A and B are shown apart, each in its own frame.
Chain A
Amino acid sequence: MMILSGDPPKSRVLTLVLVLIILALAATPFLFPGAKALNVAAKICVFAALVASYDLLLGYTGSVSFAHTMFYGIGSYAIAIALYGMGPNWAAVATGIVVGLPLAALLALAIGLFSLRVAAIFFAMITLAVASAFQVLASQLSWLTGGEDGRSFQLPELLRPGTVLISKSLFGFEINGRILTFYLVFAISALMILGLLRVVNSPFGRVLQAIRENRFRAEALGFRTVFHLTYANCLAALVAAGAGILNALWLRYAGPDTSLSFSIMLDILLMVVIGGMGTIYGAIIGATIFILAQNYLQSLMGVASKAASEAGLPLLPGLLHPDRWLLWLGLLFIASVYFFPTGVVGRLRHGGGDKGAGASH
């Protein structure tokens, strides 16, 4: 239990599901051959870490930030620009990390100091405005970021798909640079999630929960709430930037659509809400459900849309068109806030109820 920071899943079904997900992710290169499965698995790893870091904010402090993709994007762009500018070597990777992480933390500090001292509702609106300005900047500074096209780059020799580490004749599976990259993504995501679990179960995490439940009382007890909230904001930004770095490394690309867009922000929100706010574990469940659905349900919608248009039904083909995936996502979002405020994890742990869903302020 040490590795889980003394906060086990506390439900047999939940434990089983989590173990299954983690085993399936770890064994993806061997169980499900093909590039798509590996891509989906890597995306689940990256998003599990990203969503967990968002949960530190939304679930544990109760503050809604719309700037989380900004930090994710800073990580992605930092490593992409470094590898693009300095060539595919490890010094560039190190530069990207050394520049990207502090930049994200500093920006989070600035936003925190500037908006957390007022009201939670202000924080949501200000982060939305700042994130949209950042997005405009990223698409306008095309000499640096490549504008709308983004930046494609090459990885260092060791991580390239062409690099064969263990040839197929040995185990029947080829271990190449691509698979090494996947395990890198998997391991670092796992470490970041375990780190977050440690943070939320520390005394610091308890203070965050206290602030979420009653900020005034926490203040009266002598906690400097602005300090704690800003600290949590910086931590979440660091992990988000870390996830951004992993994502860019996996895609070998960073661009506005994959790392900055508002729709990613909504995806993150949805994953947190579906998984269960204030339970770090929910991030893993939410990311898995959501990304599996996103990758495999959209084709199903295409089939349904075609069937509806052949049957001559009005309106339905348009509503079921694969591009309208977000519409159903939005409905699901509303329904889950309304009916499952504690998410999957909360349901499995307590069998329903409204506990731990986060207070209003």
Chain B
Amino acid sequence: MSDFTNNFWNLYIVVLTVLGVLGCAVLLYSQSKYKVAKHNGPVGTTGHVWDEDLTELNTPMPRWWMWMFYLTIVFGIAYLFLYPGLGSYAGKLGWNSAKEYKAELAKADSEYGPLFEKYRQQDLKAVAADPQAHAIGERLFLTYCAQCHGSDARGNKGFPNLTDKDWLHGGAPETIKQTIMNGRHGVMPAMGAALGSDKDIENVAHYVLSLSGSAASDPIKSVFGKSKFSACMACHGAGGVGNQAMGAPNLSDKTWLYGGSAETIMETIRKGRDNTMPAFGDFLGESKVHVLSAYVWSLSNETK
């Protein structure tokens, strides 16, 4: 693997590094000796005289120190041989940080894997009743799910509330697990053109409101809207009760994914909605998703 698009930079670094190490060795060797003429100057000076009478005292460094310097050079060469450091040379040991990360990941998996595996063998409802699994599930949820569904799992605009009994695709433990494993893609087509004028859209919106008995629904408009609602029935059903097989929301309750005002519903009808729950199966692995599913299910169900 080369980190450089052009081999020039690779060579540049190799040459600089090698010259640097060699330079240190040469400097050290050349400076350990100093040639002076015999009988030159008093004893205890290097014989170096400048500015008329200034002399350099011979105050030597201990020899073991010099050898330590040489040792650091040997260490540096050995290091460059074993580890990546010379341009794109990978090093004899083949170490790199990505491998180390994977090794640590594998170590963690082998350490905690058996625990998750134990829960994976159990029924989801049994896992939900286990306090330790609940605590693990909560931590997983706070790490991977809270960004969209909120720390309290009550969702957000466009992100479903997971603590109520209302489910787009079904609230059985196995269904929840399937949702987390494979993700979901919910599409509401833009119905504006199919329904007709703005007036028609407004009427349908008020009919939709009337299905859940909302006080905001205008009775006259909803009567006009009822006839146009047939365009919506294919997915939401005759009474607007929704269809969990398709992920079509129930319109006859007071739970709204995007908001329950006439304006928001009109916008949904006009432009449609496109919503994605990402798949976590490949990322987290089935055993972790198993514990997580049990936790999510327990949010809206008594486990005792």
**Chain A bound to chain B:** no
Q: Which residues of A contact B (CB under 8 A)?
A: none
